Structure 1
Amino acid sequence: MQRKVIIAGGGTGGHIFPAIAIANALKKIQPDTDILFVGAAGKMEMEKVPQAGYPIEGLEIVGFNRSNIFKNILLPWKIWKSLRHAKGILQRFQPDVVVGVGGYASFPMLRQAQKNDIPTLIQEQNSFAGKTNKILGKKARKICVAYDGMDKFFPADKLIATGNPVRNNITQSAVTREDALQHFGLSNSKQTIFAVGGSLGAKSINEGLLPLLETIAEKDIQLIWQTGKPFFETAKAAAAPYASHIKVYDFINVMDFAYKAADVVVSRAGALAIAELCVVKKPVIFVPYPFAAEDHQTSNAMNLVNKKAGLIIRDDEVKSQLGNVVFNLLQNRALMEQLETNIGQLGRPNADMVIAKEVLGIIA
């Protein structure tokens, strides 16, 4: 009997890549599963999901705008419209289960599914649950989580500790450190920093690195720097005199190479980034994005810092602290090994398969 599954959510790479990983795992377990994605029109899922080989429908939905209250005037109308659209998708596709991965589109889809008694599963990626997931959690069949202590947000009997799904090209990468460094045109004998701020880059990390470029080159350290598009030209020009030591990219498609090449990673603390870093076992300095909903990135990072599985610098302290923290860490072999061991113990390379089995278990 063919199973029909809707996967709803998106808005950022942090929601889309785990969603695709779950879809791929469903197909691996039950190849004839019919999967439809529902995302937010105009967001990156409308491009990334078809590239991964799945159909997607877009809802006209936006999030609450915290910085400009006037932009929320049309929000009630858009929510009403997207709830109607979601209802139409359910009537047409007739899913056996709806999976919510977070992001704008998951609320209307799961809300309508629950109204129609279609079973739902929530994949809560963060250590601090968002408002919409807390509402939806009351009627969800199962809630897959990545952090401990989530019973303060959700009914404890629905929680399943699965970890966050990580893309196959990272969990199953066979690339060696030598190959990775060669790919970036870097030396095998030097220590390497990988700085990454999510798919759009991170302003504070970028601005914190700018004054350190000369010192990095002088200390004979290498840097792989994913800047995001907005900062790319600035960074490229600043790094030009140190081209042998510093490689600048607006976006890196081969993340497994970048992780493998790195001795130390400087990163935001989104759920996807943390899940990947746990799997690749790298010493990491987190710079949480302070304006994420409910400041969940700080909560995510502290969860690891408290287990001695990462270091943290506050966003507004990057300029004053980054150099000291990075250079001291690179000189402290014992601390690097401790961070590596502890973060590695939190890795869940098969989270996608565990979640897929839970999804199919609901409709068995």
Structure 2
Amino acid sequence: MRIIISGGGTGGHIYPAVTIAREAAKLADNCEILFVGTKHGLEADIIPKEGFSFATIEVRGLERRLSWQNVRTLFTTVGSVWNSAQIIKNFRPDVVIGTGGYVCGPVLLAASLLKIPTIIQEQNVIPGITNKILSRFVDKIALGYQDAAVYFTKCRPEQIVVTGNPIRPEVMSAKREEGLTELGLAPDKLTVLVVGGSRGARSINKAMSGVYNYFSGNSQIQILHVTGQSEYNSMVGNSKQSGIELSSAGNIIIKPYLYNMPLALAAADLAIFRAGAVGLAELTARGIPAILIPYPFAAENHQEFNARALEKQGAAVVIIDKELTDSKLIDTIKRLLGNPEVLSSMAKKSKELGCPQAAETIARLALSLKKP
């Protein structure tokens, strides 16, 4: 079995691709996998470190407005489709999978023109422009959310498969006791995990300063806050200026970055997150109730739509970024943690939305498309 996987630009497109690749390698004998990306994206660094073969094409993303840059990009895209076709002809894949990002556009289009079976994986409730275009050419569309199906009404029903979004296997194998011990958390307190993404989130961090003040020294609640590298020092400094000595507070841990997020998820009773597709997939797989604060500048405002999908099912509470204040966040935390029945119900609803086997489902779908 030979598979080409393309996706890049952000970790949200790359890590699901890696997870799918590893599942495919488990399921298929003599499975050979080639990743295709750009030499400027994160994939150029991540994919070789993950041990996979990697090829590059030159391609740019379209701006979301009429511009001369878009005209130049279209000419570049024609060349990248030709380059993709050469890579495909040389590698001779049985199937080609795209996990998002503009880089997968030329690759999937070339594969389709060469009559190679193709899959695109749409992670968000609101599809990206690349996947909207590709949906007219590919064989299968693997959706992270059922709600996204309404944006593919021109597709054949048999094209669409709701698989959920792939997550790392470590997310499910991590144990709560191990997470508590590794992170220095108390087993007799409710744990609030706060993560704004790998670079942090300034609005969330700003509101958390007030949360520290309110919950500092609380005997029932502990907070693990991942600030992002760039804001860690200022958060620690602000805490000291507010009279909070983190080492003696006993229930507040601030970290710039977590290298083992699965352990933190295993220890969490409540999460405060942005609403990226991968993060939400991990939360729901573990059944963690959440306060979601969508990133307001995401393309097509897709993070708010992702968050609303969880809120609609009773798995999360959504606070819009422009409405976020420390007092609103404090009140929401108090309301949820102070009502065990509500928290338990949210956890159950979250778990029902989780798709921990999504990567395996997509890998099996890919194997099923191999021509005799």
- Quick check: TM above 0.5? yes
Taking structure 1 as reference, are residues 10 and 73 closer, same or farther at Cα in structure 2, changes over 3 Å only?
same
Note closer, same or farther for the CA distance 1:70–1:291 as it changes in structure 2 (3 Å cut). farther
How far 1:296 moved relative to its partner? 1.1
Q: Counterpart in 2 of 1:215?
A: 214
More moved, 310-319 vs 194-203: 194-203
2:255 alignment partner in structure 1: 249
Deviation at 1:18, TM superposition (A): 1.1
Distance 1:304 1:187, change over 3 A: same
1:318: Cα distance to partner?
1.5
Distance of 1:356 and 1:268 partners within structure 2: 28
SS at match of 2:141: strand
Among 148, 163, 174, which residue is 2:146 paired with? Answer: 148
Cα separation, 2, equivalents of 1:201 and 1:62: 26
**Whole-angstrom distance in 2 between the partners of 1:104 and 1:200:** 22
Q: Does 127-136 or 197-206 show the bigger shift? A: 197-206
Query: For 1:176-214, what per-residue CA distance to the aligned partner results, in whole angstroms no more than 9, with x for missing partners?
Result: x33212211222222221111222222221222123222
Query: SS of 2:216's equivalent?
Result: helix
2:35 is the alignment partner of 1:29: no
Contact 1:40 1:62 in 2 (8 A): no
| Percent of paired sites with the same residue | 35
Q: Matched residues in 2 for 1:190 and 1:70: separation?
A: 57
Q: 2:167 aligned with 1:181, yes or no?
A: no
1:236 shift after superposition: 3.1
Shift of 1:78: 4.2
- What is the CA–CA distance in structure 1 between the aligned matches of 2:205 and 2:61, rounded to whole Å? 26
- The equivalences for 1:167-316 within 5 A come to 167-173=168-174, 175=175, 177-220=176-219, 221-239=221-239, 241-243=245-247, 244-316=250-322
* SS of structure 2 residue aligned to 1:345: helix
Residue 301 of structure 1, CA deviation: 1.0
SS of the residue 2:237 aligns to:
helix
Shifted more, 305-314 versus 54-63: the winner is 54-63
2: CA distance, partners of 1:65 / 1:222 = 43
Q: Which runs of 5+ in 1 are unaligned?
A: none
Can you list the C-alpha shifts for 1:299-337, whole angstroms capped at 9, x where unaligned? 111111111111110011122521211222111111100
> C-alpha distance in 2, partners of 1:25/1:113?
22
**Deviates most, 349-358 or 76-85:** 76-85
Alignment of 1:119-130 (within 5 A): 119-130=117-128
Greater alpha carbon shift after TM alignment, 221-230 vs 297-306: 221-230
Q: Tell me how far apart the structure 1 counterparts of residues 139 and 160 of structure 2 sit (CA, whole Å).
A: 9
Cα RMSD, aligned residues only: 2.2
Q: What is the aligned partner in structure 2 of residue 107 from structure 1?
A: 105
Alpha-carbon distance in structure 2 between the residues aligned to 1:45 and 1:301: 27
Residue range with higher mean Cα deviation, 16-25 or 219-228: 219-228
Residue type of the partner of 2:267? A
Secondary structure class of the residue paired with 1:252: coil
Deviation at 1:347, TM superposition (A): 1.3
**Worse overlay, 329-338 or 143-152:** 143-152
Match of 1:13 among 11, 14, 21: 11
8 Å CA contact retained: 2:125, 2:148: yes
**Amino acid of the structure 1 residue aligned with 2:199:** L
Tell me the CA shift for residue 65 of structure 1: 5.1
Q: Residues 286 and 94 (structure 1 numbering): CA distance in 2 closer, same or farther, change over 3 Å?
A: same
C-alpha distance after superposition, 1:19-56 (max 9, x if no partner): 11110110000141110111232222222222222122
Give the alignment partner of residue 81 of structure 2, picking from 80, 83, 94.
83
CA distance in 1, matches of 2:43, 2:211: 35
Q: Deviations over 1:95-116 (max 9, x none)?
A: 2211010112111111111222
Q: Helix, strand or coil for the counterpart of 1:37?
A: strand
| CA shift for structure 1 position 284 | 0.5
162-171 vs 223-232, greater mean Cα deviation: 223-232
Q: String of CA shifts for 1:59-93, please: whole Å, max 9, x gaps.
A: 333434569x7976864454344334323322322
358, 364, 367: which is aligned to 1:357? 364
Matched residue of 2:314: which SS?
coil
More displaced stretch, 83-92 vs 3-12: 83-92
Shift in CA distance, 88/229, structure 1 to aligned 2, threshold 3 Å: farther
1:340 is matched with which residue: 333, 337, 347?
347
Counterpart of 2:137 in structure 1 is 139
Structure 1 range deviating more: 95-104 or 72-81: 72-81
Cα gap change, 1:7 to 1:280, in 2 (>3 Å): same
Normalised to the residue count of structure 1, the TM-score between the two structures is 0.92
